[in-house]
Amino acid sequence: MGRQAEMGVLQAALEDALAGRGRYHESPGTPPYWPWVQIIRGYVREHDSAQVRDAMGAEAPDIAAIAPEVRERLPNLPLPLRFEDPEQARFRLFDAVTTFLQRAAHDQPLVLVLDNLHWADKSS
């Protein structure tokens, strides 16, 4: 992570903001949406089940499709809806993650750092 990004995360921590970090890797084989998975995992690890359920809401099954830790924390989730069109499924996932991040930032400022975006896979 670059020095400016590290400084931003440090400043966020000092101001009691929630900081999420995700990093793309140059190597092939990195799963789709990897930085988002890292951010979601961090949130799930640092919050209790009630907080995760409140922040993810009805979108939790869609988010759990890329971050199984969500289903481990909230084991009674229904399965996500299935779409024949992969673009429609991708849009639903993006909307679910965006809604989750907005809810997570409602009570506490949220700082997201996405590193190495130039190595992002096409789906992300």
Residue with the larger pLDDT of the pair 123 and 112: 112
Q: What is the pLDDT of residue 11?
A: 61
Closest CA to 97 of 71, 67, 121: 67
User: pTM for the full model?
Assistant: 0.81
pLDDT tens digits along 21-54: 767 677 777 788 888 999 999 999 999 999 999 9
Token pair of 77 as six digits: 């989730």
pLDDT tens digits along 86-107: 889 999 999 999 999 999 998 8
Q: Is 22 helix (H, G, I), strand (E, B) or coil?
A: strand
Q: Residue with structure tokens 């639903």? A: 92
